[in-house]
Amino acid sequence: MGAFENGIGKLFTDPDPDNARAFFRKKSREMKSKVMTVKEAVEKFVHDGEYLAIGGFGANRIPTAVCHEILRQGRKNMGFAGHTATHDFEILAAGKIFDRLDASYVVGLEARGLSPNARNYLQSGEVDVTEWSNYGLAARFRAAGMGVSFVPIRTTLGTETCKYGAGKIITCPFTGEPYLAVPALYPDVAAIHVHACDIYGNSQIKGISISDLDVARAAKRLIITTERIIHSDEIRREPNQTAIPYYLVDAVCEVPYGSYPGNMAYEYFSDEEHLREWMKVEKDPDAFKKFLDKNIYNCKSHFDYISINGGMEKMMKLRQKELLILAQEI
């Protein structure tokens, strides 16, 4: 690939900030309760054919309950932002919910290995894939959050990640140097799991924020799942702790242990045993179907999922692991 070539990948979303502004102009700023179940939130705000983003980092602070519910409700033909996506991607690929994908990190589960099923899905030709780097996608959410149609970045230039992406090469008007312009990414809907929020959606996140502050600002509709709902007085007592303000939020779903089997900083560690079982069982399609029935399709909610995977006793152990308490068998 030559040095100054634009990406040839498909651009799946509209980067025009004026179109986004017209949408946000009409979005309600009313401070009203948005509390509902995950089932209601997905019915109301996640639709076939739309473009989805999931917050967190793959198996860290992910809205697992929303991913499962999207499968249960059988969403199809969606677009998906595969940004630092690992276990969330594994779930959504199991339901074949998307047919177009912006991919910066997909299919793998970092040090744990690769998901055989997700890999087959991408190798099947059923999914249109446009490549990005993690920062490339993060910058696309940032551009959308800034209300501009692109931001310039200095990565991926000259590589095939750039060639099979959808960025364009521009020249700096000050230095004359080339930059990659990455287009704003406004998802139709996003789901983010947080530590605490009030009934209006004012949300607090502890620890790293990854790209969630920008994802929240970029998404046209936003579902928040939360470890716990707190009183609005708590938000107003420490407004500097608010990561996501209410006017970005469309649904508030209280889901304790909502990132399980992922990690939730300061709350519980990831369930490595369960994540290993997922990857192992994927190798056998019949066994995987049974596994999905058991863990997703036959569950009514996240509570069911947790109870068949060790319940409170398991959650307590994962909490102790997170807090580095070297407890013996309990």
Partner 1 sequence: MPDYNVMELMVCVASRELEEGASVGVGTGVPCAATMLAQKTHAPNLLIVFEAGGVAPLLPEMPISVGDSRTFYKGVMASGMVQIMETCARGTVDYTFLGGAQIDMYGNLNSTQIGFDHDRPKVRFPGSGGANDFASLCWRTMVVTPQDSRRFVEKCDFITTPGYLTGDDAREKAGLPKGCGPYRIITNMAVMDFEPVSKRMRIISINPGYSVEDVQKNCGFELLKADKIIETAPPTAEELRILREEVDPERYVIGR
**Which residues here bind partner 1, judged by CB under 8 A?**
1, 3-4, 56-60, 82, 84, 86, 103-108, 110-112, 114, 119, 122-123, 125, 129, 131-136, 138-139, 142, 153-161, 164, 169, 177-180, 206-214, 263, 265-266, 269-270, 272, 322, 324
Phi, psi of 86 (to 5 degrees): -130, -85
Nearest Cα to Cα of residue 196 among 169, 170, 235, 165: 235
Nearer to partner 1, 161 or 203 (CB): 161
Query: Distance between CA 33 and CA 41 in Å, rounded?
Result: 13
Residue 241: DSSP 8-state: G
Q: How far is the CB of 96 from partner 1 (least distance, A)?
A: 15
Query: Distance between CA 74 and CA 258 in Å, rounded?
Result: 20
* Residues, the chain: 330
Phi, psi of 140 (to 5 degrees): -65, -40
Q: How far is the CB of 268 from partner 1 (least distance, A)?
A: 9
Q: How far is the CB of 210 from partner 1 (least distance, A)?
A: 5
How is residue 117 written in tokens? 């099923």
Query: Distance between CA 86 and CA 109 in Å, rounded?
Result: 5
Q: How far is the CB of 112 from partner 1 (least distance, A)?
A: 7
Which of left, alpha, beta for 125 (phi over 0: left; psi -120 to 50: alpha)?
A: left
How is residue 111 written in tokens? 């040090």
Q: How far is the CB of 301 from partner 1 (least distance, A)?
A: 26
Nearer to partner 1, 72 or 321 (CB): 321
Query: Distance between CA 209 and CA 314 in Å, rounded?
Result: 26
Q: How far is the CB of 280 from partner 1 (least distance, A)?
A: 17
Nearer to partner 1, 138 or 235 (CB): 138
Nearer to partner 1, 104 or 203 (CB): 104
Nearest Cα to Cα of residue 38 among 309, 312, 311, 296: 296
Q: How far is the CB of 259 from partner 1 (least distance, A)?
A: 11
Nearer to partner 1, 248 or 299 (CB): 248
Whether the CA torsion 302, 305, 310, 311 is positive or negative: it is positive
Q: How far is the CB of 172 from partner 1 (least distance, A)?
A: 9
In a 10 Å sphere around its CB, with 0-12 CB exposed, 13-18 middle and 19+ buried, how is residue 52 labelled?
buried
Phi, psi of 135 (to 5 degrees): -65, -35
Nearer to partner 1, 216 or 281 (CB): 216
Nearer to partner 1, 60 or 202 (CB): 60
How is residue 280 written in tokens? 């192992």
Q: How far is the CB of 206 from partner 1 (least distance, A)?
A: 8
Whether the CA torsion 299, 304, 305, 308 is positive or negative: it is negative
Is the preceding omega at residue 261 within 30 degrees of 0, hence cis? yes
Q: CB–CB of 164/9 below 8 Å?
A: yes
Nearer to partner 1, 93 or 251 (CB): 93
Nearer to partner 1, 155 or 309 (CB): 155
